[in-house]
Structure 1
Amino acid sequence: MTFRPIAYADLNARQKENYNFHKVAARLADFGFTSVRLSDDFEGADFIALHIDGETMLRVQLKARMTIDRKYIGKGLHVAFLDGNRVFLYPHDEMLEVLLEATTIGTTRSWLEAGTYTWPKLSSSVMVHLNEYEV
């Protein structure tokens, strides 16, 4: 059998979600987490990451890019996404609070009307706050 890398762009949406889950879960494994995929979003979580310490459990929403969303507020969620080979995992509500204070996203049409904001490309002003959440 010959293994050939796939082109991410050739995957359909469900395949991309599976790919992203496995990439994030593999990175978390390096830090003592076992990740369990949920069959449906439970209170906004796509998967649970359990640490070997027996105490730490993260409820994780998996995204294709950095996202904040009003529907995740108060649910104790972390958001994970890939940016190239980099994996980021941040506590949603804490990041939301920081970004609403440090940026103008709170005044954007996207946030005001839809209650969501995403970053197709990470700016240096966002990276200042995001760097500490790289896994």
Structure 2
Amino acid sequence: MFERIAYKSLNARQKENYNFQKVAGRLADYGYNCLRLNDDWHGADFLAVHVDGTNVLRIQLKGRFGFYKKYCGRDLHIAFILGDDCYVYPHDDVLAAVVGRGQIGETVSWAERGIFHWSKFPSWAAELLQLYRI
């Protein structure tokens, strides 16, 4: 009756919907209810509201591990899926750690476009993001 879909066969919007559902499902295990936003709200694709009523995460979905100058200072978390793992990390805190390690530097991508990401997940990042793997 049910047939699994091939993620690669989805268009960009379908992939974003798929990723939202996957991340929301993982966050539910930690007491979060996820509310999809129709339009990016201060950079967030969705809100994750904890059952305690006080903790609210503003989350931007991405396809990979990376950083974006336009998100600095906005108290955003970045969520991405890598295989069976899902990561939800505080953008500014992890950016500071990565810059401190000298992993970004003054690349053209970061300096001129304000974006830096890795097409292949770097091995050193697994340890850095361990706290944010759900």
TM-score (normalizing by structure 2): 0.97
Counterpart residue number, 2:81: 82
**Alignment-mate amino acid for residue 55 of structure 1:** T
Q: Does 1:5 align with 2:4?
A: yes
Please tell me whether residue 59 in structure 1 is matched to residue 97 in structure 2: no
**Unaligned segments of structure 2, at least 5 residues:** none
Q: Distance in 2 between matches of 1:30 and 1:121?
A: 28
Inter-partner Cα distance in structure 2 for 1:13 and 1:103: 32
Distance 2:103 2:91 in 1: 17
Q: Offset at 1:108? A: 1.6
1:129 aligns with 2:128: yes
Q: Does 1:109 align with 2:108?
A: yes
Report the identity percentage.
49
Deviations 1:45-92 (A, max 9, x none): 000000001110000001011120000000000000000110000000
- Mapped partners of 1:37, 1:64: distance in 2: 17
Q: Structure 2 CA distance, aligned partners of 1:48 and 1:93?
A: 17
SS of equivalent to 1:98: helix
Deviates more, 1:22-31 or 1:98-107: 98-107
* Matched position secondary structure for 1:132: helix
Cα distance in structure 2, aligned partners of 1:54 and 1:125: 35
RMSD: 0.8
After superposition, residues 82-101 of structure 1 pair within 5 angstroms as 82-101=81-100
Spell out, residue by residue over 1:13-33, the C-alpha distance to the aligned partner (whole angstroms, 9 max, x if none).
000000000000000000100
Which residue of structure 2 lines up, in the alignment, with residue 21 of structure 1? 20
Cα deviations by residue, 1:87-124 (Å, 9 ceiling, x for unpaired)? 00000000110001113312222111111111221111
The 2-side partners of 1:126 and 1:132 are apart by: 11
| Aligned pairs, number | 134
Give 3-state SS (helix, strand or coil) of 2:129's partner: helix
Tell me the TM-score normalised to structure 1 length. 0.96
Runs of 4+, deviation exceeding 3 Å: none
Alpha-carbon distance between aligned partners in 2 of 1:101 and 1:70, rounded to the nearest angstrom: 16
Gaps of 5+ in 1: none
